[in-house]
Amino acid sequence: MKQTSHPDMVALTQVRRGLPNSDAIPGLADARLLPDQEFHSDWDTIVLDGDLKERVLRQAVVSVQVRHRVAFHAIPLHGVILLSGPPGVGKTTLARGLADRVARSVRLPGRTQWAFLEVDSHALASSSLGKSQKSVHHLFNDVIGEQAATGPTIVLLDEVETLFTDRSQLSMEANPIDVHRAVDAGLVALDTLAKRHPDLLLIATTNFADILDPALESRADLILPVPLPSTEARQTILEGALHALVTAFDASTDLLSPQTLRAAADASEGLDGRRLRKAVAEACALEESAAANPARLTPAALIASLRGVR
């Protein structure tokens, strides 16, 4: 293809072939077909307490099945799942893994593959200052809507509070009229998409549920708080990270003993999953010998590192 091709023409060509070109559409961070092995690993990697993973999967499956057979006015499902919680707890990883699991679990007649789109809300907002309404309308109706018209589609709206900020909390510095219209456009688009495309799912994540517009929350079929990991979850997360380290560097298996893992989990209260995994590498940096060769990491250094990470 010649380099002189117009970006919009490139994007439309890709849409006809099955997926939009994420490089040519502002706010679109990723586009791929599902199932996807990388996302499959994400589902296995994420550690949550209780049956949270199974619950969100069941909700996604129910949403698709019910919307295909029951009228929207009877049960107004929007196909929107909202994951909220502090940074680092795995909301985005869970969302990607969920997308893959839905694609593997839900088989629709005549449909063999699901499409996946990821929206970078910050990129969309920054590229559309002063014309947010038009950009939001284009993304939801022209990009997502056209993709959903070709077959089952899952959309990840990461950090969705950027697109659906609570209109009652807007300040004059935030260009409230522009933002207000953009939120309105997004809400109308969600209603339209829900009615037209029963095999469209939108998985939204937020670190700041308190600044989300209530109208978005009312459209969510499930609002799932993703909390900081419990002691048991922290132990499982640390075990996975340490097992990878032991395997890669032939480190001491003492790091994987039940006593070490329990002590490490107890020492890491309040840490999120991402911070826990990083803490394993930080522990190696505490001593020169372990920094030069991570195989020399000791349980004592690991626990000392976890106690110091806050």
The tens digit of pLDDT for each residue in 195-215 reads 999 999 999 999 999 999 999
* Residues 6+ away with beta carbon under 8 Å from 131: 178
279 and 259 co-located in one domain: yes
Domain ends where: 184, 206, 225?
Answer: 225
Domain ends where: 225, 258, 280?
Answer: 225
For the record, the structure tokens of 224 come out as 């799932």
41 and 176 co-located in one domain: yes
pLDDT of res. 16: 36
247 and 220 co-located in one domain: no
In a domain, 74, yes or no: yes
Helix (H/G/I), strand (E/B), else coil: 185: helix
pLDDT of res. 135: 85
13 and 65 co-located in one domain: yes
In a domain, 24, yes or no: yes
The pTM of this model reads: 0.88
CATH assignment of the domain containing 46: 3.40.50.300
pLDDT of res. 11: 41
122 and 21 co-located in one domain: yes
Rounded to whole angstroms, the Cα distance separating 5 from 216 reads 38
262 and 115 co-located in one domain: no
166 and 45 co-located in one domain: yes
Domain of 203 in residue numbering reads as 7-225
Half-sphere exposure of 292 (CA within 13 A, CB side): 3
Chain segment 89-124, per-residue pLDDT in tens: 999 999 999 999 999 999 877 766 899 999 988 777
78 and 153 co-located in one domain: yes
User: What does DSSP say about strands 114-120 and 80-84: parallel, antiparallel, or unpaired?
Assistant: unpaired
Low-confidence ranges of the chain (pLDDT < 70): 1-18, 111-112, 125-130, 171-175, 310
DSSP 268: T
* Residues 6+ away with beta carbon under 8 Å from 17: none
pLDDT of res. 108: 78
In a domain, 301, yes or no: yes
In a domain, 2, yes or no: no
12 and 111 co-located in one domain: yes
In a domain, 115, yes or no: yes
CB 171 within 8 A of CB 132: no
Ramachandran class of 90: left when φ > 0, alpha when ψ lies in -120 to 50, beta otherwise: left
Number of domains within the chain: 2
Half-sphere exposure of 155 (CA within 13 A, CB side): 32
259 and 170 co-located in one domain: no
Question: Which residues, in sequence order, are bridge partners of residue 47?
Answer: none
pLDDT of res. 10: 35
With CA atoms as reference, report the closest residue to 238 among 295, 145, 305: 305
214 and 241 co-located in one domain: no
In a domain, 138, yes or no: yes
